[in-house]
Structure 1
């Protein structure tokens, strides 16, 4: 198939591209590199099935018109977005324009050319989990940040094209994803940041009291889920979760990361610092992925301990310290 991946030079995007190439598809990447990095896809640039890497903005309607007129895509995996919660609080306009308006422009092209859309949303749209059965797709949503609000608006737009036009679309809500190629600085994920600090012998800093929990999904499991939703018609018009089905408190995660302290010569300090956006914190996130297992025969394969080990090895050999 001919496949477009917006945000394909991003952390999750590059793993989606890798899997699509391995499956034999012709792939086009559109990324403005505001969050993605060329280095993430360096190994694919000479691949015969990577047809084009376009540095461009999903809000550039002229660019989109030219691209969709030139290539008859079968699927668009729409991953391009502003993803930082604090950035959305500081500058809601940019997040809304990228995540909601940008999605509208992509949807219009896909409607015109009859292209299936897989829309990458987020678990951050959910209200806190209230029991140990986990968050299903029917769980209440709560736009606790402009990022979550923008994603909810975009989700509704995407699903409206399924109902109004019969366009095959699916909304996916992966839980907190981590692994190799995730940024290890301030814009990175909690696992990557913790592991980098552990390897450097720096303090592991926890926002707030650390009792908040996360369901952490290894990136290759996430990419397998993302790609599979594009292949399957049975999830069209659906919202589908993906996660590990196990949550861990940030305090316990810090202890788990600190325990792998074979590089630093001194014990890693764990300390708590004031939360930068307590109003947008979700106290408990735990995924129920039963729907993905039932409809897609998908379930995670990499447990948290193995995923942290793989992430640590990648950060170490990539010299991202």
Structure 2
């Protein structure tokens, strides 16, 4: 089996962790990223690694995708996407073009080369959970933003390629992922935003009542899940969730992150209609089929992120 793989969105937050996981396993990684959301800083640790090559290009361009996905490609990890809920509400076209048309281009390149695909989706496609039980893969979908809608459309397209062309594909829905290299401005994740603001002595601002919950998955656990699932023949054609199986309210998360003396304040939500109230993963399918389970606790993960931010200028901000 070839040891060459492609990672789209390689310079993004999760993409760089997938890249590191693959390099650690001895793969030759061809990264593709247009750097609109990702950053060269995210992959600077691999700059001198002869097994890593970054192509700056756009998944919306078929010729660019065809240049990186070739006959010797063992797998394509497709993470290249627009991921900002607020931006998708303001500019839905950009999310459609990147997340749907871009995915079509990747699937076509993989179909031509018979390359297996790990399509990384999002837990934001799910409908509101109405009980304390976790969300499994059979839970109803109800995208609450153009971002979530475009990601679900990309999944449906990929499923069509699996059934229509026998293209080896797995659809992956990690829950809210956090950790080093995640943006910590308003385009980032809540854990990174809270941690950065706490380190700077700023008020932690909670949108709405703060009762909304999230299942928070550490970056290395997410990357291991994506790599394990993509290479597993046992999950081809499946949808798989990844999460801890535990959720925490944003109010409780703020209390966990806040140092003594840090203020916490509730503010009006920009778009409350796009907020999923409860996100708690049922990861039992991934555990059963892959033997995968998360290793990093929330407390440990937050401490890792805090230490990483303290070691970097601007507390890890990538603005």
Global fold match (TM > 0.5):
yes
1:159 matched to which residue of 2? 159
Alpha-carbon distance between aligned partners in 2 of 1:67 and 1:199, rounded to the nearest angstrom: 40
**Which residue number in structure 2 is paired with residue 231 of structure 1?**
231
Aligned CA-pair RMSD = 0.9
Q: Name the SS of the counterpart of 1:160 in structure 2.
A: helix
> Could you say which residue in structure 2 is the equivalent of 1:264?
none
Per-residue deviation, 1:68: 3.1
Deviation at 1:286, TM superposition (A): 0.3
Contact 1:184/1:320 (8 A) holds in 2? no
Equivalence for 1:248 = 248
Q: Secondary structure at 1:74's aligned position in 2? A: strand
Q: 1:65 offset after TM fit, Å?
A: 2.6
Between the aligned partners of 2:25 and 2:68, the Cα distance in structure 1 is 23
1:84 CA displacement:
0.5
Does 1:108 pair with 2:108? yes
SS in 2 for 1:244: coil
In 2, Cα distance between the equivalents of 1:149 and 1:206?
A: 25
Q: Name the structure 1 match of 2:66.
A: 65
Range with bigger deviation, 58-67 or 128-137: 58-67
Counterpart residue number, 1:299: 293
Corresponding residue number in structure 1 for 2:124: 124
Structure 2 CA distance, aligned partners of 1:251 and 1:62? 47
Note the 1:1-321 alignment, pairs <5 A.
1-50=3-52, 52-69=53-70, 72-258=72-258, 260-261=259-260, 267-321=261-315
Residue deviations 1:220-255, cap 9 Å, x none?
A: 000000110111011100000000111000001001
Q: Give the CA deviation at 1:129.
A: 1.6
Q: Distance in 1 between matches of 2:68 and 2:226?
A: 23
Contact 2:170–2:229 (CA<8 Å) still a contact in 1? Answer: yes
Partner Cα separation in structure 1 for residue 313 and residue 245 of structure 2: 32
1:38 deviation in Å?
Answer: 0.3
Contact 1:214 1:286 (C-alpha < 8 Å) held by counterparts: yes
Q: Secondary structure at the match of 1:206?
A: strand
Q: Which runs of 5+ in 1 are unaligned?
A: 262-266
Shift of 1:48: 2.0
TM-score between both structures, scaled by the size of structure 2? 0.96
TM-score where L is the length of structure 1: 0.96
Unaligned runs of 5+ in 2: none
Give distance in 2, aligned partners of 1:268 and 1:180: 22
Instruction: Give me the whole-angstrom Cα distance separating, in 2, the residues matched to 1:195 and 1:64.
Output: 36
